[in-house]
Amino acid sequence: MLTKYEMQIPKYTFAGENALANIQTIVADRKKIAVFTDQGVEGAGLLDLILNQVKAAGKEFVLFDDLAREPSYGQVQEQVDKFKGCGADFIIAVGGGSVMDASKLVSILATDQYKVKDLLDNPRLAKKVIPSMMIPTTAGTGSEVTFNAIVAVPEKSVKIGIVNPEMMADYVILDAEMIKNLPRKIAAATGVDALCHAVECYTCKKVNPFSDTFALEAADLILNNIEKACDDPNAMDAKRAMQIAAFYAGEAIVCSGTTVVHGLSYPLGGKYHIAHGVSNAMLLVPCMKFNESDIKDRLAAIYDRAVKGQKTCTTVDAKSSYMVQWMGEIVKHLDIPTSLKEFNVPKEDLDWLVSAGMEQQRLLSNNVKLVTPEAAREIYLSVMDY
Ligand SMILES: NC(=O)c1ccc[n+]([C@@H]2O[C@H](COP(=O)([O-])OP(=O)(O)OC[C@H]3O[C@@H](n4cnc5c(N)ncnc54)[C@H](O)[C@@H]3O)[C@@H](O)[C@H]2O)c1
Ligand SMILES: [Zn+2]
């Protein structure tokens, strides 16, 4: 438990019914709006909901809609370069973590001073240049509330998190319209990503009262809503709960941080382009089994909070193993792959995976139990049972 801790949060967050309508007042004093999105979000008809608000406010806008999913730092740099000279004085990001992360980088790099590549070595170099608004369409990365941006680094086949408080959004809008028709597969993977954020932040070295508050509430909401939100297209209450929970879990990242699941997941995204939520979901249970001996009290506390009705487990041991099992059942229920076989990862890559995973010390050093190369090997092997 940290004895000194702090919290940052976006200046304004609007949530609930018709939250999108706030866009008009937010942009009222701006000259020109840069709207970032991607083809998937645009294809789902969500972009129009935003552009209609911008148009109703009588504002000029410029659209950036060709961002790749989970982009490399070079692909983000292309967005930065295209943005420069467009004359916009405000950024709206409409999308999942990919779009929001890229836009956050644009918000601090829209000058000629630094490039995305410079931030890989020294993330704190750049300062906020353009104010930003995040509108998440997945639930989700929580990227709307964090000041992290994750980029792929192709030459190293990994993903790297750039962390800079200047990237904190000025405005966030959580409107359930944006996730209403999220396809089940994406809702499942991004929802389990949020679960990982909550559980990792609640069981990490840097736990503190701020992160505990957000992480525990997020875990409770996700555990009790994720299946319904994914399975039932009309379950708007469950979807709204997931949207709020993803935001809370993101705030938990701001206050403490993720650990072994995310650390070992990055090479899987970087080299084999497995979606972030999928690689996390795959590693969640093996990592929890590895960690369990050292985090039983904390898993038991999640049990006490999240299990509704009659609680049949009475000991810390029983509660903690119930939690590991419950998380496994959720991943299974949501049909998320649990083996690297589905992604044609050759077993010969195990040594590379271990060394690339061990490089993620920013996250691994926040894990309560020491993650040795041998432990990383065992965890990767457990998802390579073929
Ligand atoms: N900054 C952070 O704190 C943070 C935290 C976790 C993950 N991330 C990063 O975020 C990225 C992943 O983001 P993600 O999981 O939100 O997925 P994503 O943004 O990559 O989106 C996945 C796919 O879903 C589509 N999509 C998004 N919303 C949709 C909707 N409502 N309807 C239909 N299709 C939709 C997108 O077009 C895309 O094809 C990764 O790069 C990951 O590393 C960042
Ligand atoms: Zn994540």
User: What are the residues facing 60 on neighbouring strands?
Assistant: 32
Task: Give 162-191 pLDDT, tens digit per residue.
Answer: 999 999 999 999 999 999 999 999 999 999
57 Cα–ligand 2 center, Å: 34
Query: For the chain, which ranges sit under pLDDT 50?
Result: none
111 Cα–ligand 1 center, Å: 26
Task: Give 305-329 pLDDT, tens digit per residue.
Answer: 999 999 999 999 999 999 999 999 9
Q: Whose CA is nearest to atom 5 of ligand 1?
A: 141
User: Tell me, what's the pLDDT at 241?
Assistant: 98
User: Tell me, what's the pLDDT at 386?
Assistant: 85
43 Cα–ligand 1 center, Å: 15
Q: Whose CA is nearest to atom 4 of ligand 1?
A: 143
46 CA: nearest ligand 1 atom? 31
250 CA: nearest ligand 1 atom? 3
User: Tell me, what's the pLDDT at 112?
Assistant: 86
Q: Which two tokens stand for residue 244?
A: 């709020």
Q: Whose CA is nearest to atom 16 of ligand 1?
A: 96
Q: Long-range pairs for 110-117 at CB < 8 Å and ≥24 separation?
A: 110/80, 110/83, 110/84, 111/84, 112/84, 115/77, 115/80, 116/73, 116/74, 116/76, 116/77, 116/80, 116/151, 116/162, 117/73, 117/77
Among the listed residues 243, 248, 244, the one whose alpha carbon sits nearest the alpha carbon of residue 211: 248
Name the residues around ion ligand 2, CB cutoff 5 A.
193
DSSP class of residue 116?
H
DSSP class of residue 7?
-
For the chain, which domains are there? 12-178 (3.40.50.1970), 184-382 (1.20.1090.10)
32 Cα–ligand 2 center, Å: 32
Q: Whose CA is nearest to atom 10 of ligand 1?
A: 97
266 CA: nearest ligand 1 atom? 43
User: Tell me, what's the pLDDT at 91?
Assistant: 98
52 Cα–ligand 2 center, Å: 31
Cα end-to-end span (Å), the chain = 40
DSSP class of residue 340?
G
User: Tell me, what's the pLDDT at 1?
Assistant: 85
101 Cα–ligand 1 center, Å: 9
Q: Ligand 1: residues within 6 Å at CB?
A: 38, 40-41, 44, 46, 69-70, 95-99, 101, 137-138, 140-143, 146, 148-150, 159, 178-179, 182-183, 186, 190, 193, 250, 253, 276-277
330 Cα–ligand 1 center, Å: 20
The pTM (predicted TM-score) of the whole model is 0.98
Q: Long-range pairs for 345-350 at CB < 8 Å and ≥24 separation?
A: 345/268, 345/272, 345/384, 347/384, 347/386, 349/271, 350/377, 350/380, 350/381, 350/384
- Could you tell me how many residues make up the chain? 386
Q: Which two tokens stand for residue 148?
A: 């992290």
Q: Whose CA is nearest to atom 17 of ligand 1?
A: 96
